[in-house]
Structure 1
């Protein structure tokens, strides 16, 4: 009998090596190559797509294909609907990733209860918890439903069989790293297993119009564990972000075939589960101190949603030879660039000053429109002079000190006016053909120096 051949597959990027290597030559990660037994091609014979009714797919002329006007399904969760682009698309595959304990299973259990209450048949497959454990959490969250089925199983053969028998409208897989195809001999959670499990689920979703939610574990770097092809195969990729020391969670779309990317939804984790936060701007600004220096408010855009956030800066003389730059929630290189512009164009001596900057509330800001607010917070701390508490700032800074135009300026100004701000600084070029609101003063500035003259 011939000895079975082995190969070593990187669990981070999928690189295949004929021998063991301590470090993957493709992605550079250490100790990620795992031995897998090569499969015979006869055992992995491809099969055509077949619906649960037994109908095989066949080639069609494009003129003969009918596009049914299928309405999106309301998840009874405004924040999730926003991130998905207006609701759940029937027959789609949604991948949700996030750190352990962040609330992925809680969110899906709450959404499953809402879908079941609307008359949908739902199958919740868990490879990590027993049915009694899920029931305990469902009772705490107030989740129930007559057509809500729990199935603690990891064998994909049994799962596919039960999907064929139940014919559910929705399927939740928690998580894909715990599922196992019986034809694959590699370890659970390996690249081969994840790839085959996702392919089988995709075939079920696309041929039968079943919406499938998949939970994915993440690596220590924050990316979803497994091969990158996992994110390519699904329709929507959502990342559940948050700080374990805070109760707020952000659901962010990084891929969406049916809506906008970089959309976010904000939730608060409470004893009764995740609660939607309809106005996150109030949350991010509620603890702002009046009269404090080194603080400026920016109207940032996350997808289509304008959010007001506070940027804080602390500038102090350095005790060492090289000045230190530390950021939280902001891009470190962007801060270095803005400080260089302030030193060259505004005459601030910052090369001997330590600078510590953060976006308060745990939010991450990375768009160019925050540049002007960052500059104002740095100048406020450096001069020990406060900005007006009802001022906010919008604008991108160029290397020559000009304030450049940004997109969606009307929505940003409207959000600032709604929260009671009296004055907003915007790029002068954005004021062209702009209908100015009457309840807030809009100040157009062309350069950084002009903005500093208005504020300080």
Structure 2
């Protein structure tokens, strides 16, 4: 058997020392020594390390590796299944991050309560007592006859209990509170988080247990601990939310078993998190008459088309350097689009404050929002509203061309389903012939000038 001990490695030069010091003895870097586990061989020749994945049989030709679909199973929470790519995968490790109080523990307690009705589930809490977990379950009205709970922070004891109980789903709340006895550093340190997560990942792969890890975030919104934590797991989910909103957005940042950037929408109430079946309806204001500075964008989050309202306010600036503020969009791209509007649309906004907001707290990363942003800016600048019932999408190039975006027909069908009857889209996304959408007037444009004329022709 191999015995474990700890050592300290320099992050600057890689030198290893048995004790911590403020300065690396080799390269002289300060505060660069990090604790890690060192494995010393027992001296037996030919000993091979144990494989991480159950069923691995050493070196094989890739063509001989048996293929098959992942053994998925539904969680019972529709929006969570969507974000996971269709459900949990046996042996998969999911990292769930988000701000304090946003609903991470609530969602996982609800999920494990549903799963426990059909298969074993173990909820491990390192932050709360068992009584606190029971009180939350009671407040949410959850039926938990088959759900087992454990208050423990030592990863070795957690793995030992999990091997005895053999749960189908294991929840660790949270990974920053878990420690390993092999290291002397405090729980939550880089070395402790990395080593504890590695043991849990190894357990998941060897036994086929699906594991949820709850992760804390820093004040900048990034997951606390080493970046390698996100590389070790199979799926990384982030909770996004506007602080004043009751809606919670769950986004898949990484997913080895499904589409990344998939979005799930939940509503928080007294009974916990409830899936929102039609998220487009909650993000649309549905004004009774056309409003200046407002356009409707059809974006795509993962595999789901989504209708969002983009609002703009353009006002004369008293400052020498006018402000460019974008909420839910990339501010640098906004500055670029305003330059394109000036060069190819003839609209000068260099002396104006420009504010852009995506209603509902959604963050839009795709370039299909370009055309909607510029039409909203021009609508506010000229005090001319975009006609009611119009949707917009399209990418704008620096030469003023309107570029096509993926899944254009699917976006249009989603807009038609919500009652929109006119669309301004890239010419190559406009359906033709049999693919035309009944009841919708689709205007295909290839240049920025054509789009501005189509939007404000009345």
TM-score, L = length of structure 2: 0.88
Q: Name the structure 2 match of 1:402.
A: 401
Does residue 133 of structure 2 align to residue 134 of structure 1? yes
Q: Which residue of 2 aligns with 1:28?
A: none
1:432 is displaced (CA, Å) by 6.1
1-structure distance, mates of 2:52, 2:399: 62
Deviation track 1:248-302 (CA, whole Å, cap 9, x = no partner) reads 1111111111111011101111110001111111100036463320111110111
Kept in 1: contact 2:52–2:205 (CA 8 A): no
1:103 maps to 103
For 1:195-210, what aligned pairs fall within 5 Å after superposition? 195-210=194-209
Aligned to 1:387: 386
Residues 22-33 of structure 1 mapped to structure 2, 5 A cutoff: none
Q: Deviations over 1:84-140 (max 9, x none)?
A: 1111111111111111111100110111011112x1100100000111100111112
- Residue equivalent to 1:48: 50
Change in CA separation of 1:6 and 1:430 when aligned onto 2, cut-off 3 Å: closer
The equivalences for 1:215-226 within 5 A come to 215-226=214-225
User: How far apart, in 2, do the equivalents of 1:405 and 1:412 lie?
Assistant: 12
Query: 1:357: Cα distance to partner?
Result: 1.0
Residue 445 in structure 1 maps to residue 458 in structure 2: no
Contact 2:409/2:431 (CA < 8 Å) preserved in 1? no
Name the CA distance, whole Å, in 1 between partners of 2:165 and 2:99: 32
Q: 1:5 to 1:122 in 2, by over 3 A?
A: closer
Q: How does 1:10-409 map to 2 (within 5 A)?
A: 19-20=21-22, 41-42=39-40, 48-49=50-51, 58-59=57-58, 61-62=60-61, 66-67=66-67, 69=69, 71-117=71-117, 119-286=118-285, 288=287, 290-409=289-408
Give 1:448 deviation, angstroms: 1.4
Distance between the aligned counterparts of 1:251 and 1:385, measured in 2? 36
Distance 1:201 1:312, change over 3 A: same
Secondary structure of 1:338 counterpart: helix
Structure 2 SS opposite 1:362: coil
SS of the residue aligned with 1:237?
A: strand
Q: What's the Cα RMSD here?
A: 2.8
How much has 1:331 moved relative to structure 2?
Answer: 0.8
Alpha carbons 1:44, 1:183 under 8 Å: kept:
no
Higher mean C-alpha deviation, range 182-191 or range 427-436: 427-436
Rounded to whole Å, the distance in 1 between the matches of 2:408 and 2:36 is 57
**Partner SS state of residue 333, structure 1:** helix
Contact in 1 for aligned 2:6/2:183 (Cα 8 Å): no
For structure 2, the residue ranges without an aligned partner over 5 or more in a row are: none
Q: CA deviation at 1:59?
A: 2.3
TM superposition outliers: structure 1 runs of 4+ over 6 Å: 14-18, 34-40, 43-46
Q: 1:44 to 1:106 in 2, by over 3 A?
A: farther
The residue correspondences of 1:423-438 to structure 2 (distance < 5 A) are 423-431=422-430, 435-438=435-438
Give the deviation of 1:320 after TM superposition.
2.3
Q: CA 1:59–1:287 in structure 2 vs 1: closer, same or farther (change >3 Å)? A: same
Alpha carbons 1:48, 1:56 under 8 Å: kept: no
Unaligned runs of 5+ in 1: 26-30
